[in-house]
Structure 1
């Protein structure tokens, strides 16, 4: 399949004429990513992972579009877009098909940012037993050999050591960055240097992707 990275956490997957978009948020080129999409997966409710107006607009203008999201996000979208039949609740530990892609779900909650900041639901998605997008978490799919890992390389809820340990734990042959809009080039170089060097010791090849850059996975 073809994977296209957009700014921050959004990726677009294309296979056999079908298009699946994950986390079209406000930091991303969400309208562009959603153009012609058949299915959308939302990991959690934060705006950098869902551009709500853009998703609602896409639902209204594209009658074939289906959205899968945690319960709270799904309920809000049903009210806004008035298309209840095409908005589905994603539960952790389940599986379903979306636009010709096989999807498995993992996790359940967002990583802790601070004790005084409420923890929200977060779903990690494994697509076609290949591409894993964890959302805002370091949940490791159990019993699965992930082939392509999308790594949240920087966030208010993480530190570099945790990013590296996540890559080591999953041990996917290939890894690409997501959740990187808050990094400048100096910071990016530090984080990616550690991920690249240490990840390689455990069999993971890390590659930077620029916004709108595509790769076959």
Structure 2
């Protein structure tokens, strides 16, 4: 499996001809979004915020690509179905399920978006673990029960987090490799400060932190599934 990092929290995963796209948001811009979505089999959306789902161009792409599936929290999926007018390929995602999508096995973890402020309502947020290897948490630093991921996509900067929380998240997940997401608001100086600390703390706990630039590609190896943890071949099932 290969991962391509795009702007902010958008990533593209490719494996044996299958393509998943996670969180095609509005920091990417039209040209980059077209590149991200080209040839995609399915979209995974963590939550409704526009930096994770640029609704208008995604809806337009869905209308012109009837084969493309979407998996998203129920409120997000409902909005897309209403706009696109084609509900059979837009699926509600619940936490603690297993999805078989275009050759990928996707486990879902869920709850709420991280708190921004007590007076700002939280929204549903789904994290995705792809092929028991790479975890995209959306906008949450909660470590789900039973999560084991060798590759962590860490939201390194946001109005809802601080560096200490990001460090604790990386330490708690105990991945082998850490790549940044949710980074579009950072300057070069900001990257330098945050990534220096993340590199040091990740290293203390046996992980490698690596900066990825836009369109940078890395190869990810699938971890063996632990004994007794059997994923049934069904397309969707409750854990």
Q: TM-score range by the shorter chain?
A: over 0.9
Cross-structure match for 1:11: 11
Cross-structure match for 1:48: 51
Say which of 95, 102, 107 aligns to 2:105. Answer: 102
CA distance in 1, matches of 2:152, 2:123: 23
CA distance in 1, matches of 2:183, 2:57: 21
- Secondary structure of 1:182 counterpart: coil
Gaps spanning 5+ residues in structure 2: where? 221-239
Larger Rg: 2
Cross-structure match for 1:168: 171
Note the 1:68-83 alignment, pairs <5 A: 68-83=71-86
**With structure 1 as the length reference, what TM-score do the two structures score?**
0.98
Cross-structure match for 2:198: 195
- 1:130 partnered with 2:128: no
- Tell me by how many angstroms 1:107 deviates: 2.3
- Secondary structure of 2:132 counterpart: coil
CA distance in 2, matches of 1:161, 1:139: 13
Q: Is the 8 A contact 1:44 1:122 kept in 2?
A: yes
Q: Is the 8 A contact 2:127 2:136 kept in 1?
A: yes
- 1:90 partnered with 2:93: yes
- Secondary structure of 1:151 counterpart: strand
Cross-structure match for 2:151: 148
- Tell me by how many angstroms 1:30 deviates: 2.0
- Secondary structure of 1:57 counterpart: helix
Gaps spanning 5+ residues in structure 1: where? none
**With structure 2 as the length reference, what TM-score do the two structures score?**
0.89
Number of aligned pairs?
217
CA distance in 1, matches of 2:19, 2:57: 16
Deviations 1:157-181 (A, max 9, x none): 0000000000000010011000000
Superposition RMSD on alpha carbons, in Å? 0.9
- Tell me by how many angstroms 1:11 deviates: 0.1
**Structure 1: which 4+ aligned runs deviate by more than 3 Å?**
none
